[in-house]
A and B are shown apart, each in its own frame.
Chain A
Amino acid sequence: MSSDPEKMMSKADKMTKLTLTRWSADWRGATELYEQAANGFRAANKYEKAKVALEKASQGQVMQSSPWDAAKHMESAAALAQKLSIWDEVADFYKKASELYVECGRAQPASDALGKAARALEDVKPEVAIQLYTDACEILEEDGRDQMAFDLYRACASVYIKLEKFADAATFFLRLGVAADKCDATNSQCKAYLSAIIVYLYGHDLKQAEKCYNDCSQIDAFLKSDQNRTASRLLTAYNEGDIEEIKKVACSSTVSNLDHVIIKLARKLPTGDVTAVQMNAGDDLDEDDLT
């Protein structure tokens, strides 16, 4: 075995090409050579070449019908692409790895791969990240492991909040609530609903927040919880335009136990919406109105 990765690469390439002398590709040998070449390149900090070697190694594994190893190689390739900041490839490699994991029948690593991809792309390509998060959540839900999806939902919602798409963020929190409901995780469920209400309020959408609150009150678990009380206090404070009360509720311990992104929103709540007080002046019923 030559220690020069380049030589190994060329040798492995030759092994896989079909020529007159070679009628069937020797994938086993080739894969081994590719793996060794990749290690060599990595040690030499030649990440681009290492990435290519890993890609080819992964393909070799696929040919050998071992999707698990193939997926592992793909993930390493994607990590290298992340280091090189080639974002399209990052997404592609992770997606391929995830598909291979699904082939193995292992949903958790599949969604983990997509989660890693989404986290890598959060800052650079948030829409792609959101898509990846959604796919990861779906994979887990299909497999019936909703509990693992909580973190992914939360991460996705925080990406939406960063993009200032509050309605979508709130929708994700509600989906979190549904997932939590399936696994009887009442605490997470109530926290998710409270977070959704806060997000709506931050988005200046009092009507939606109230509708959301009414919907959530139908659920027993939420009705009996601390979060319910906090939500009702917040909404009544909003209805009365009482800024002091809003601030007090935002600093209460129930809100401080939520996700830190939501805590930041809650602290900013009254100042994020100056029209709250004025909006409610019109809600007062006319005293002479006898209906």
Chain B
Amino acid sequence: MTVIDILTRVDSICKKYDKYDVDKQREANISGDDAFARLYSAFETQIETALEKAEIVTKEKNRASAVAMNAEIRRTKARLSEEVPKLQRLAVKRVKGLTTEEITARNDLVLALPARIEAIPDGTAGGPKGSNAWAPSTTSRPDIKFDSGDYGRFDDDYFQESNESSQFRQEFEMRKIKQASLDMISEGLDALKNMASDMNEELDRQVPLMDEIDSKVDRATSDLKNTNVRLKDTVNQLRSSRNFCIDIVLLCIVLGIAAYLYK
């Protein structure tokens, strides 16, 4: 047989058995107009990623990231549980090209979904009663959703403080005290700033007044200097002339006469 013959034969056989190819069918379904199939496949992928994350969590050493990832998984689970009713509605719809058997099959798939979602491990220890309690409630009360699993399953591990969390708590307390003292300091600084700017403005106000005082005092001193010089001149004039001596002589004569008169 030639290569070409082998190829054509393989092709025809593949085409014949295509309908048994699961992956291809799924893809065909996805690319089709069937909303249910699309949504269902989206669900499947999300569930698978959640399971993968759960795997990583079990291997994770850092508790903080483990906690974060668990929270993510819980959120995904909540979202999926919300979408389940939508999927149910789509499942019941009659789509052309589907037999009744397939529709019932779809219904079963959808019903199985909540159980599968619950089964994803998310750090809270699972119990069998959880899934039974949830299944009717998700359908009857879709508005109320809780992120974590059932309440009441808080075993010892839940509240136990590890070293890290107690350290976190201590740090929080210290930071709170520091914050309070920083607040006080900030208030004091505000008051200081305000006083300083008021002083600044007051000084600015005083500057022209000081300038005026300066000029006025300058004028006064120059006046005084003038007056002093003139006074000095006058006194010098007085001294240089004979009048001074004549005054003293005359004064002595008058005193002598007075003394003589009163003696």
B180 → A minimal CB distance (Å): 16
A115 → B minimal CB distance (Å): 15
Tell me if B99 is interfacial: C-beta within 8 Å of chain A: no
Among B181-210, those with CB < 8 Å from A are 187, 190-191, 194, 197-198, 200-201, 204-205, 208
B124 → A minimal CB distance (Å): 37
Is there contact, CB below 8 Å, between B205 and A148? Answer: yes
Q: How far is the CA of A226 from the CA of B186 in the complex (A)?
A: 13
Tell me if A253 is interfacial: C-beta within 8 Å of chain B: yes
A26 → B minimal CB distance (Å): 30
Chain A residues near B201 (CB, 8 Å)? 147, 185, 187-188
Q: How far is the CA of A101 from the CA of B120 in the complex (A)?
A: 94
B193 → A minimal CB distance (Å): 8
Chain A residues near B197 (CB, 8 Å)? 187
Which A residue's beta carbon lies closest to that of B193? A226
How many contacting A-B pairs (Cβ < 8 A)?
24
Partner of A253, one of B191, B200, B204: B191
Is there contact, CB below 8 Å, between B204 and A145? Answer: no
Tell me if A254 is interfacial: C-beta within 8 Å of chain B: yes
B239 → A minimal CB distance (Å): 36
Q: How far is the CA of A147 from the CA of B190 in the complex (A)?
A: 24
Most buried by B among A148, A184, A185: A185
Q: How far is the CA of A148 from the CA of B194 in the complex (A)?
A: 19
Is there contact, CB below 8 Å, between A187 and B198? Answer: yes
Partner of A254, one of B190, B198, B208: B190
Tell me if A84 is interfacial: C-beta within 8 Å of chain B: no
Is there contact, CB below 8 Å, between B208 and A185? Answer: no
| Interface size range of chain B in the complex | 10 to 19
Q: How far is the CA of A188 from the CA of B194 in the complex (A)?
A: 10
Is there contact, CB below 8 Å, between A183 and B204? Answer: yes
A179 → B minimal CB distance (Å): 12
Interface membership of chain A positions 188-228, coded 1 if the CB is closer than 8 angstroms to chain B and 0 otherwise: 10000000000000000000000000000000000000100
Tell me if A257 is interfacial: C-beta within 8 Å of chain B: yes
| Interface size range of chain A in the complex | 10 to 19
Is there contact, CB below 8 Å, between B205 and A257? Answer: no
Is there contact, CB below 8 Å, between A147 and B204? Answer: yes
Is there contact, CB below 8 Å, between A257 and B208? Answer: no
Is there contact, CB below 8 Å, between B187 and A147? Answer: no
Among B137-196, those with CB < 8 Å from A are 187, 190-191, 194
B165 → A minimal CB distance (Å): 32
Which A residue's beta carbon lies closest to that of B186? A253
Partner of B204, one of A185, A226, A254, A257: A185
B203 → A minimal CB distance (Å): 11
Chain B residues near A188 (CB, 8 Å)? 201
Is there contact, CB below 8 Å, between B205 and A253? Answer: no
Q: How far is the CA of A184 from the CA of B203 in the complex (A)?
A: 13
Q: How far is the CA of A253 from the CA of B195 in the complex (A)?
A: 12
Is there contact, CB below 8 Å, between B190 and A253? Answer: yes
Q: How far is the CA of A254 from the CA of B194 in the complex (A)?
A: 8
Q: How far is the CA of A162 from the CA of B191 in the complex (A)?
A: 27
Chain A residues near B194 (CB, 8 Å)? 187, 253, 257
Is there contact, CB below 8 Å, between A145 and B198? Answer: no
Partner of B205, one of A147, A187, A226, A254: A147
B202 → A minimal CB distance (Å): 9
Which A residue's beta carbon lies closest to that of B202? A147
Interface membership of chain A positions 243-265, coded 1 if the CB is closer than 8 angstroms to chain B and 0 otherwise: 00000000001100100000000
Q: How far is the CA of A148 from the CA of B206 in the complex (A)?
A: 10
Q: How far is the CA of A242 from the CA of B187 in the complex (A)?
A: 23
Chain A residues near B204 (CB, 8 Å)? 147, 183-185
Most buried by A among B187, B197, B201, B205: B201
Q: How far is the CA of A26 from the CA of B198 in the complex (A)?
A: 52
Chain B residues near A253 (CB, 8 Å)? 187, 190-191, 194
Q: How far is the CA of A145 from the CA of B205 in the complex (A)?
A: 9
Chain B residues near A226 (CB, 8 Å)? 190
Q: How far is the CA of A87 from the CA of B125 in the complex (A)?
A: 89
Q: How far is the CA of A188 from the CA of B199 in the complex (A)?
A: 11
Give 12 A-B contacts (CB < 8 Å), ordered by A residue: A147-B201, A147-B205, A148-B205, A183-B204, A187-B197, A187-B200, A188-B201, A253-B187, A253-B194, A254-B190, A257-B190, A257-B194
Query: Which 6 pairs between the two chains have the least Cβ-Cβ distance?
Result: A187-B197, A253-B190, A257-B194, A147-B205, A185-B201, A253-B187
Chain A residues close to B by CB (< 8 Å): 145, 147-148, 183-185, 187-188, 226, 253-254, 257
